[in-house]
Amino acid sequence: MNVYEAVQSRRAVRGFSDEPVPGDVLQRVLSAAAWAPSGSNLQPWRIYVVTGAPLARLKKVAVERVSAGDPWDEREFEMYPAALKAPYGARRSTFGRERYSSLGITRDDWEARQRAAIGNWDCFGAPAALFCYIDRDLGRPQWADLGMYLQTVMLLLRAEGLHSCPQMAWSQVRETVAEAVLPPEDLILFCGMSIGYEDPDVTFIRTGRAPLAETVTFIGD
C-alpha cells in the first residue's frame, strides 16, 4: 500500500471485529510513528496502549458509567467552540446526519442516538486502544504536533491492514481512563483511538470532503 492509498483508505471505522491485533505490529507502528514531526523535536505525545483484560475492564466501566447517565468529567480543553460559524457548523451537521442515517436512526430518535454514541466507550468492538496525552504546560503548537503524530499512526496502521477511529469522546471520561493507565498528574488526555480489523458486516457511509477550491488557494505561476 503506497502513501496515497493509505491516506485515501483511512477513515474513522466504527465497527471492528474481535480479531486480536498482534503486539509486534503495534510495536512496529509506534516505533515508526516516533519519526513524526514536532517543533524543535519536542515529541510532546505520551501514549498508552491498552489491550486484553485491562481494556475489557476499562470498556466495561466506561460503558456502565455513560449508560447510567453519570456527568462528564470536568473539561480540560474545549472540543469545539460553543458556536461553530460557517462553514464548520454545516460540515458538522452534515456529518451527524450522514452518521446516524447510515444506522437507520432518525434525527428525533434521541434514545437511539445515545445508544449509538455509547459505542465510543466500547471502542466500537476494537481489541486495542491507544490513549494520547500531552503535558499540560505545553501550548497550541505542541497540540498541533499531536495531530501530526496521530495521523502518522493511523496511516501506518493502514499499511498493516488495520483501521482506527480517533475519539476525543474519551476525554469526557478522562478520570475513568486515568484509573486504568495511571498517567502522571501533569498530563492531559487529548483523545483515545480504537484500533483493529474492520468488521465487514457493519455498514457505513463515507463522509465527503469540501471541494479543493474551498480549502486551498494556489498562488504563483
CA distance 94 to 87: 11
Half-sphere CA count of 77, side-chain side, radius 13 A: 20
Task: Say if CB 131 and CB 181 are below 8 A apart.
Answer: yes
Q: How many angstroms separate the Cα of 172 from the Cα of each of 9, 12, 105, 120, 191?
A: 28, 19, 24, 11, 9
Task: Say if CB 114 and CB 103 are below 8 A apart.
Answer: no
Higher pLDDT, 127 or 208: 127
Grid coordinates of 215: 480549502
Over the stretch 20-51, which tens digit does the pLDDT of each residue have? 999 999 999 999 999 999 999 999 999 999 99
Q: Is the pLDDT of residue 96 over 90?
A: no
Supply the mean pLDDT for the chain: 92
pLDDT for the residue 60: 97
pLDDT for the residue 100: 67
Over the stretch 175-208, which tens digit does the pLDDT of each residue have? 999 999 999 999 999 999 999 999 998 877 788 8
CA distance 185 to 191: 16
Q: Label residue 104 by pLDDT band (50, 70, 90).
A: low
Q: Is the pLDDT of residue 103 over 80?
A: no
Task: Say if CB 55 and CB 163 are below 8 A apart.
Answer: no
